[in-house]
Amino acid sequence: MPTRQPRYFAEETARRGDALYERHIRAQVEATHRGKVVAIDTGSGAYVIDDNALTASESLLAQHPDAEIWCVRVGSRALHCIGGHPLRGQGVPYPKFGSAKGLVNMTEDFDEPLEDIQRSGTARR
């Protein structure tokens, strides 16, 4: 299967995809599809909603084989994230000060210098 060349540079695909989402799609999907992924054909404006980017993109390509795809997660600023914390108000409570009280125990000599550091002469006094 020959590889087709993209019509747009990555930045232009992103700009077009975000503009289509904001102008034409967001109002239709925000209330009922929060957390789902929208795959958008940046050329035609056609889109598909699914649980993840792969299945949404595959469904869109089945309908529009030449689609130039941009994906957006409904109700989020990011499609994927690595680590970090969710934004406030998205159903996940933040830990409260003192919530680990009683779960952490420190030994009596916690503040004492370690023996191997004392011997090397690098202990702070």
The pTM assigned to this predicted structure is 0.63
The domain segmentation of the chain, as residue ranges, is: 10-73
Cα–Cα distances in angstroms (integers) from residue 52 to residues 28, 81, 122, in the given order? 18, 13, 53
Question: What pLDDT score was predicted for residue 107?
Answer: 80
Dihedral (CA of 48, 65, 23, 76) sign: positive
Tokens 């202990």 appear where?
A: 123
Write out pLDDT tens, residues 16-43. Answer: 999 999 999 999 999 999 999 999 999 9
Low-confidence ranges of the chain (pLDDT < 50): none
